[in-house]
Chain A
Amino acid sequence: MDYRNTAAVIEVDEVPEQLSEPMTDSESLLLERIRQGDEGAFTQLVSGHLSSVVNLAYRMLGDRQEAEDLAQEAFLRLHRSLPSFRGDCRIKTWLYKVVSRLVIDHIRREQVRRRIFFFRKHEDDPDPVANFADPSASPSDQLLGQETRQKLFKAMEKLSGRQRAVFVLRHQEGLPLKEIAQVLHLKEGTVKAHLHRAVQCIRQEFTDQEEVTS
């Protein structure tokens, strides 16, 4: 049987509207306190999610400072949209959405900017990949090894924001592709294509000698 024709890979299904689990009672309570002007409650929300938000952005961007700035913006947007926040997804899912969209937006602008200033690039300009050699990396990164990190981020550099977001959300955060489709507001078939492209790119970086393309 030629299952290439019947494969579920190139789906054109509708973007799923409601998939993620709804907010827990304690989350609703926390949001209610914030809506009533309880600053402590907002502080609690931020400190509870700060590390994961910064890390999510860092993994997509490879730059700690940018990741922190973007995390800030994500929390501010959450705060600002609280009045209209319906609470039909977990806070974490909401933050995934905002961070991913901010990152995608940021990368798209950076890529255009780089195209504009490409001609000015000089041999003694810092290598963008070198920026990824972040001295403030976590202890687990020391295990990862400098070379691996550089290769990984070099591969990420070649990907679009959406492709990076899909890979980080699936590979690192373990989010099912259906949910990623919802988070990024993409069709599931598109998400699958992005994941495949990201995996190809990363494997190419790691195994030059191996045949990795299809």
Chain B
Amino acid sequence: MKRQATCNEKELVLFYYGELDAAGRQRLQSHLADCPACRSRLDALQRSLDHLSMPGVTLSEIEKTRLTAVITEKASQRAKPQRWLLGSAAAAVATLAISLMILPGNFARWTGQLPQSETEIGMLQDMELLQNIDLLENLDLLQDFERIG
């Protein structure tokens, strides 16, 4: 089936989820009337998504009680220090500084040699990236959570 210049897969997905505004819906419906290709794609979309349910987990009453107790217990332990996250972020800065200094040495010890290949050097960069991500995202999350409330 031939597609037309006005065919838009993304709009079909939005249409399927009821996320097009009135004008968009109308536009798509008149397009669908003229376009067998899109009709068949929408049909396929419905077939694959209509009955697709994401898998889930069932918590038994015992598991629920246990997990709830663990959370409540930890919350009461952590209740006081509002500054906890800030403290840990500061600690993370220190850890980052230290680990970035010692990282190449560590790496050499793992592999028994200095990094030579591009892969190894790339990995070292990844390693730094990882640590930076950990740090930055903790800070990021911290700010987020202060905003969310």
**Neighbour of B5 across the interface among A4, A152, A203, CB < 8 A:** A4
| Residues 139-158 (chain A) with a chain B CB within 8 angstroms | 139-141, 144, 149, 152-153
Chain A nearest CB, measured from B84 CB (Å): 7
Q: Give the interface size bracket for B toward A.
A: 35 or more
Q: How far is the CA of A58 from the CA of B54 in the complex (A)?
A: 10
A39 pairs with B56, CB closer than 8 A: no
> When the two chains form their complex, are residues A97 and B148 in contact, meaning their CB atoms are under 8 A apart?
yes
Judging by beta carbons under 8 Å apart, are B54 and A8 in contact? no
Let me know if B59 and A50 touch, CB within 8 A. yes
**Chain B, 3-37, contact with A by CB distance < 8 Å: what is the 0/1 string?**
00111111101100101110110010001000000
User: Which B38-64 residues have C-beta < 8 A from chain A?
Assistant: 44-45, 48-49, 52-59, 64
Contact B74 A140 (CB under 8 A): no
Contact B146 A59 (CB under 8 A): no
Q: State A113–B134 Cα separation when bound (angstroms).
A: 11
Per the bound structure, the CA–CA distance linking A212 and B137 in Å amounts to: 35
> Does A54 belong to the interface (CB within 8 Å)?
yes
Secondary structure of the A contact surface, majority rule: helix
| CB–CB A84/B146 < 8 A | yes
Chain B residue with Cβ nearest A203: B48
Given A42-B75, A64-B57, A2:B149 Cβ within 8 A: no
B45 x A203 contact (CB < 8 A): yes
Instruction: How many A-B residue pairs have C-beta atoms within 8 angstroms? Tell me.
Output: 186
Which of A's residues lie within 8 Å of B, judged by CB? 1-4, 6-9, 39, 42-43, 46-47, 50-51, 54-55, 58-59, 64, 67-68, 71-72, 75-77, 79-86, 94, 97-98, 101-102, 105, 108-109, 112-113, 115-116, 119, 134, 136-141, 144, 149, 152-153, 168, 170-172, 176-177, 185, 192-193, 195-196, 199-200, 202-203, 206-207, 210, 212-214
CB pairs A–B below 8 angstroms (25 shown): A8-B24, A42-B75, A46-B72, A47-B68, A80-B85, A81-B146, A84-B146, A94-B149, A101-B144, A105-B137, A109-B133, A112-B129, A116-B127, A136-B57, A137-B57, A140-B53, A141-B56, A170-B17, A177-B14, A177-B17, A196-B9, A196-B14, A199-B45, A203-B44, A207-B48
Closest 9 CB pairs of A and B: A214-B9, A138-B58, A85-B149, A79-B75, A172-B54, A59-B54, A84-B149, A141-B55, A55-B56
